[in-house]
Amino acid sequence: MKYFETSKISRRDVKQYPLIGDGKDGEVYQLETNICVKYFFLEETQRKELEAMQAGQSSKVIPKLYEYGTNYIVMEYVHGVSLARHLKNERNISPELTAKIVTMLNELRRIGFKRLDTEVRHVLISNDGQLKVIDHKRAFSSYNEAPTKLMTGMKKLGVMDKFLDHVKSIDSSAYDSWSSRRIKRKKKK
């Protein structure tokens, strides 16, 4: 099914749909139960995000791509909660969730992303426990081997030390690299 008959849309084309998210790059509207559209304010941002989504279609951590135009992308709507909200509610991070995050970051590497990092609010935990990453405009334009943005968010939510403790037992080389980055751990008393 084709949702838009034109390659460029305006707010007028999506105003009948529920607005489910917005940010500095655009707005997200829910088209159907499992499908949404991201309307971009700048076509350049859409091109960057589209390139990353297309590269990641072989991966389960990237939402499915259904349709696109010069300023929009129709994609899978992920039912669930952001990692940020989950961590805020739980005030803890489990070894199982940490393992999924490490696997997710390794998957971004496998896809070919240069930026192996994301913000905690851009990681979604689906209702069935799978992780999906959204907002990929910097996937190929900035380089970051360590998840500094992710860890910064975890630090603000009070779980970074626990995350790194779990990473140490899951992937010691990742732990060595990540724990020595910009975000310093608190000394244990």
pLDDT recorded at residue 182: 46
**8 A C-beta contact, residue 177 and residue 145:** yes
CA distance 48 to 135: 10
In a domain, 160, yes or no: yes
Q: How many residues does the chain have?
A: 189
Average confidence (pLDDT) over 112-120: 90
Residues 18 and 46 in one domain: yes
Token pair belonging to 90: 């739980």
CB atoms within 10 A of CB 166: 21
Q: Assess whether 133 and 85 both reside in one domain.
A: yes
User: Three-state DSSP class for 133?
Assistant: strand
**Whether the Cβ atoms of residue 150 and residue 117 lie closer than 8 Å to each other:** yes
Q: pLDDT tier at 189 (50, 70, 90 boundaries)? A: very low
Q: What is the mean pLDDT of residues 6-31?
A: 96
Q: Identify the domain containing residue 149 by its residue range.
A: 80-179
For the chain, percent of residues with pLDDT exceeding 90? 86
Asked if residue 87 has pLDDT above 50, the reply is yes
pLDDT tens for 27-42 read 999 999 999 999 999 9
Q: Based on the structure, what is the number of domains in the chain?
A: 2
pLDDT of residue 185 exceeding 80, the answer is no
CATH number for position 39:
3.30.200.20
Looking at the fold, whether 85 and 65 belong to one and the same domain comes out as no
Instruction: Lowest mean pLDDT of 16-25, 37-46, 142-151, name the range.
Output: 142-151
Which range, of 49-58, 106-115, 136-145, averages the lowest pLDDT?
136-145
Average model confidence (pLDDT) across the chain: 93
Structural domain includes residue 186: no
